[in-house]
Chain A
Amino acid sequence: MNRIKNTLAQNTKLLSIYFTAGYPEPEDTVSIIKDLEKNGIDFIEIGLPFSDPLADGPTIQESSGVALKNGMTTKKLFQQLEGIREEVEIPLIIMGYFNPILQFGVEAFCQSCAAVGIDGLIIPDLPVEEYNEKYREIFEKYGLSNIFLITPQTSEERIRFIDSVSEGFIYMVSTASVTGSTKGFTKETRDYFRRISEMKLRNPQIVGFGISDKETYGQATEFAKGAIIGSAFIKHLNSSRKQDIADFVKSIRPV
């Protein structure tokens, strides 16, 4: 959790990358993480593949499907991440749906996260109420920060509530859509970024969904602390493989 807080305390706009573990090749997980850090990415979301990713568009769905065919499992991910903290310093967050975590056992999962040095979790289909009632104690016991989402439709009251239970940052979903939209941001969306920033929340906001290039990254971070890119990076991996991670990062945030 401290790694997340330290990173958020930096006086710069942050860039985060999401990728699906086990994609495109089963053993790519660690090398992608190392390459991302080397190229200046501020923190990473490691996607735990799931058969039925409700909140994801076609790109991440497909990468999850490939990863599962590659034999990726929760257990295997933890095996791959063993020793990662000897080489990588930036915050690492696991993003995954709740069912695989439930089958692994929530406590066993949190324990494994802590053991390999994961700093936080994003579980889109674990609502804040269920988390508070049943799982918060376990997450806190292992020092894991649970990150919640807000959307343009989330009421102010609920945003305040989510802010009150969040530790780390708030994941601000840019537009009403699944991941991977490339339509660009409308004035309405930018007004929403401004509106949230004017709420002066306890936790900084990181924007995700629909960020695919320099322009959308710039718009997203005009008011927010940082932004996350997922689908666009996965498409890039698919087309040009990992040696070009440097090119991708430069195309978003020139050095």
Chain B
Amino acid sequence: MSYQVDEKGYYGDFGGAYIPEMLYPNVEELRRQYLDIMKEESFQKEFKELLRDYVGRPTPLYYAERFSKKYGTKVYLKREDLCHTGAHKINNTVGQILMAKRLGKNRIIAETGAGQHGVATATVCALMGIECIVYMGEIDIDRQAPNVARMKMLGATVIPAKSGSRTLKDATNEAIRDWINNPVDTHYIIGSVVGPHPYPDMVARFQAVISEEIKVQLKEKENRENPDYVVACVGGGSNAAGAYFHYLDTPEVGIIAVEAAGKGIDSGESAATSALGKEGIIHGSKTLLMQSEDGQITEPYSISAGLDYPGVGPMHANLFRSGRGEFISITDDAAMKAGLQLAKLEGIIPAIESSHALAIFEDRKFKEDDIVVVNLSGRGDKDLSTYIDYFQL
């Protein structure tokens, strides 16, 4: 059994394309073509060159010596925080903008929560000279003013999502509505491994460069391609999908997914989808999602704006249900402390999303000779004001 997507777009019970007929032609066009386009030599050449020269890949695999010593195991950090624009998100937007060009689309739409994916999309649109519209929840626009300004500097139009709870899920709804209204010239760059098939698989493949590099780099450093564990935070789950991708069907590599418990799983303010979610449909995909008994989608909470998505990518839902992945949830408080600790031990200020992955070492013990790779998905610059408020810096 494989943990990759099957021919019908499912990961076990999860995935598929639950979309209104209005989206069918666009999604079907993408489904038919994405693998062939990605295999083209010219596509691969352009994608790899941009990742190298523009994004700054490969990102280092860094042995965190003092952190390792503290927890009595060997911890490597995959430094996605060093990517251009400050997070792994740009791996996917570079891939998708090249895809959009080959599909003949000249208008790009995207959704964003904290603004990282919006910035990464606005960046590649500026690079290619393509019109860019980013939907962002009205509440998030207020919370993430610097990223709104960055998108504007990059030439994007930021449209506030005023419907529903006015956060990420509603920004996604608005982007989908835009796509319904503009079915011919527009490509929708989804920022995570969510949405209707083929998006979860396509985004995972663009992010797969993360685990592809880990294999080569670990071989150089440890003379083995496979770590004992690969750890990543999961909101929608794109950085995790990239970090796991080439290890999914290698059972000796343990997969650890870290979700945001917010103020605690039972507090009513949480984003731990695997613990709190039930099977359902969100944004065109069958997956686990947080919802009321009546099937209304509920608003999650996390201190980290990148993890408060009420669903989770179908790949991860399957990793959870099948038992292939170990799911751990981390509270706001534990994540914030882990972020501060990494700054002091290693001189690296992580994004609060990534801090969740770093926080597991307090309770989850590893053997001394285990090799644990943590995907450091983003840097903490965008979170400075949250760190300042939290620790009264």
Contact = CB atoms under 8 A, between A and B. Distances in A.
Interface of A: 50-52, 54-55, 57-58, 61, 65, 68, 73-75, 97-104, 124-127, 130, 148-151, 153-155, 158, 173, 176-178
Nearest to B165: A51
Interface string B135-160: 00000000000000000000000000
B295 A55 contact: no
A252 B193 CA distance: 45
Contacts of B182: 176
Interface in B1-55: 16-22, 24-25
A85 to B, nearest CB: 24
B22 A55 contact: yes
Contact of A102 (B169, B183, B295): B295
Contacts of B66: none
A104 B177 CA distance: 26
B280 A99 contact: yes
A104 B278 CA distance: 12
A215 to B, nearest CB: 22
Contact of B19 (A75, A101, A102, A125): A125
A136 B278 CA distance: 24
Given A51-B298, A153-B24, 12 more contacts: A50-B296, A55-B180, A57-B177, A58-B163, A99-B297, A100-B294, A102-B279, A103-B295, A124-B21, A130-B16, A148-B21, A151-B25
Contacts of A75: 294
B21 A173 contact: yes
B278 to A, nearest CB: 7
A74 B183 contact: no
Contacts of B16: 130
B176 interface: yes
Interface in B77-131: none
A103 B298 CA distance: 14
Interface in B167-181: 169-170, 173, 176-177, 180-181
A68 B282 CA distance: 18
B21 A54 contact: no
A148 B280 CA distance: 21
B227 to A, nearest CB: 37
Interface in B219-267: none
Contacts of A127: 17-19, 21, 24
A154 B291 contact: no
B281 A178 contact: no
B183 to A, nearest CB: 5
A151 B297 contact: no
Contacts of A73: 294
Interface of B: 16-22, 24-25, 163-164, 169-170, 173, 176-177, 180-184, 278-284, 291, 293-298
B317 to A, nearest CB: 14
Contacts of A130: 16, 18
A177 B173 contact: no
9 contacts: A100-B295, A102-B280, A103-B278, A127-B21, A149-B20, A149-B21, A153-B183, A176-B182, A178-B177
A54 B281 contact: no
A158 B281 CA distance: 24
A54 B295 contact: no
Given A55-B180, A178-B181, A173 B22 contact: yes
Contacts of A149: 20-22
A55 B24 CA distance: 12
A176 B18 contact: no
A184 B169 CA distance: 30
Name the residue among A51, A74, A98, A125 with the largest chain B CB count within 10 angstroms.
A51
A171 to B, nearest CB: 9
Contacts of B180: 54-55, 176-178
Given A50-B296, A68-B296, A125-B18, A176 B24 contact: no
A127 to B, nearest CB: 7
A226 B279 CA distance: 37
Name the residue among B170, B282, B295 with the largest chain A CB count within 10 angstroms.
B295
B291 A99 contact: yes
A200 B142 CA distance: 53
Contacts of B279: 102
B21 A150 contact: yes
B149 to A, nearest CB: 27
Nearest to B298: A51
A131 to B, nearest CB: 11
Contacts of B169: 52
A143 B298 CA distance: 33
Given A102-B280, A103-B291, A178-B180, A151 B296 contact: no
Given A99-B291, A102-B280, A130-B18, A52 B297 contact: yes
Given A51-B164, A103-B291, A98 B18 contact: yes
A99 B177 contact: no
B21 A151 contact: yes
A223 to B, nearest CB: 19
A54 B183 contact: no
Given A55-B180, A176-B183, A178-B180, A100 B296 contact: yes
Given A149-B21, A149-B22, A151-B21, A176 B176 contact: no
